[in-house]
Amino acid sequence: MGWSLRIGRIFGIDIKVHLTFLLILVWGAFSYGGNAGPWYGMLVTLAIFTLVLLHELGHSVAAKGFGISVRDITLLPIGGIARLERMPKKPVQELIVAVAGPLVNVILALILLPLVVGLMIGQSIPFSLRLMTQPGMLGLLTFLLGANISLVVFNMIPAFPLDGGRVFRAMLGFFTDYYRATKIAVTVGRVFAFGLGLFAILSMQFWLAIIALFIFMAGSQEGLVAATRGKLRQWQVGQVLGRNPISLPPYATVGQVAPVVMGSYQANFPVLDPTNGQLLGFTTNRKVAQAMAQGQGQQPLTEVMQPVHNVPVVGFYARLDEVLEKLAETPQRVAAVYDGLHFRGLISLEDIQRVFQFLPRRRGEIMPQPKQL
């Protein structure tokens, strides 16, 4: 995310703050400071964002438990975002990942509660909501207790993509397929986000209104991506794989294969072992052209080849949405297609994009880049 500063690393995850976050710190210093002054206000604001960070770490640790890597956690003025490499598609996993965040706040609240009660009894102060705005240890702990409870309540609103919305989709996922579950969750989520926005405007809570708008748009965006992927799911790799692709021999030089590559519409060329037809790697028309342009026609083809161990593998009968997911996990744009042990061809992101051009779609439905999954 642009305009972000890296402030540290926890469990191998980069922790970043968006630059606008600094504005919130200043705003918090004055609105939470009260009689105790802006430094206390800043402390309270930092404490809130620590809770948000711990919440996001909850999601992240759960995701990592399912083998999903977490790119980073960014703190924004409207809250935190943990960017997962992909979303878990198994309902049970999504349920656990979604619940793990709020669960952290429940645990923190359960730790804070006896401390607050203990301090209140010790100082014989009766409970009142005004305690939260009193500077000092008791005030701060009471405030944090309240903030934890608010975080749980807010995040469990079933407005997709809030945690509550994800829990809702996961539950729907037990009864219907992922894409239908997403469609329903997004529709219900938009109603809740709209309601939240209306409430925010009527109660003049400017900040909440912005958050509601953000939820509405983010939910719609995920809905579109899911709709696209649902359509790609109807096609199998074998149905769209190029017929009779040109393959290249490993012992040739770049200069020797250049005329073949130049004269073909093919973008990616498998390099096959001529004795058994097994895939050794692949090269692209761009790489061959580049080598030629730099006068390196003499070098062996294998020098401009992506070796097979770097190439993700998909089945001949795999669905296109699965291929997209597979490509998202690697830096590659090309996957090798196998039917059992037999190599059948290469499929690329561009191939899937081409298929997408032919599918009936609504306005706004765009081909998801693997990195947006």
Q: Which residues contact Zn ion (rule: CB under 5 A)? A: 101, 155, 163
Q: Closest approach of Cβ 151 to Zn ion, in Å?
A: 8
| 20 CB-near residues (< 8 Å, 6+ apart) | 3, 76, 77
Q: Based on CB atoms, which residue is closest to Zn ion, 103 or 241? A: 103
Strand ranges inside the chain, DSSP E: 4-10, 13-18, 70-76, 79-84, 268-272, 279-284, 306-307, 313-315, 334-339, 342-348
Q: Based on CB atoms, which residue is closest to Zn ion, 163 or 325? A: 163
Q: Based on CB atoms, which residue is closest to Zn ion, 131 or 152? A: 152
Q: Closest approach of Cβ 53 to Zn ion, in Å?
A: 11
Q: Based on CB atoms, which residue is closest to Zn ion, 94 or 163? A: 163
CA distance linking residue 76 with residue 19, whole number of Å: 8
Q: Based on CB atoms, which residue is closest to Zn ion, 29 or 76? A: 76
Angle (nearest 5°) at CA 334 between 368 and 367: 15
CA distance linking residue 329 with residue 324, whole number of Å: 9
Q: Closest approach of Cβ 18 to Zn ion, in Å?
A: 17
Residue nearest to Zn ion (CB): 101
| 284 CB-near residues (< 8 Å, 6+ apart) | 267, 268, 269
Q: Based on CB atoms, which residue is closest to Zn ion, 163 or 321? A: 163
Q: What's the sign of the alpha-carbon dihedral 278, 232, 354, 373?
A: negative
Q: Is 142 exposed, middle or buried (0-12, 13-18, 19+ CB in 10 A)?
A: buried
**Which of 132, 159, 163 is CA-nearest to residue 145?**
132
Distances (CA, A) of 255 to 248, 269, 287, 365: 12, 15, 12, 43
- Number of CB atoms found within 10 A of residue 128's CB: 9
Q: Closest approach of Cβ 143 to Zn ion, in Å?
A: 20
Q: Closest approach of Cβ 55 to Zn ion, in Å?
A: 5
Q: Closest approach of Cβ 59 to Zn ion, in Å?
A: 5
Q: Based on CB atoms, which residue is closest to Zn ion, 166 or 229? A: 166
Q: Which long-range contacts (CB under 8 A, 24 or more apart) does 215-220 make?
A: 215/159, 215/161, 215/162, 215/189, 216/190, 218/161, 219/159, 219/160, 219/161, 219/165, 219/186, 219/189, 219/190, 219/193, 220/186, 220/190
Q: Closest approach of Cβ 85 to Zn ion, in Å?
A: 17
Q: Based on CB atoms, which residue is closest to Zn ion, 53 or 335? A: 53
Q: Which amino acid is at 128?
A: S
Q: List the structure tokens of 40.
A: 């206390």
Q: Closest approach of Cβ 212 to Zn ion, in Å?
A: 16
Q: Closest approach of Cβ 158 to Zn ion, in Å?
A: 13
Q: Closest approach of Cβ 198 to Zn ion, in Å?
A: 23
Q: Based on CB atoms, which residue is closest to Zn ion, 131 or 151? A: 151
Q: Based on CB atoms, which residue is closest to Zn ion, 101 or 368? A: 101
CA distance linking residue 155 with residue 98, whole number of Å: 10
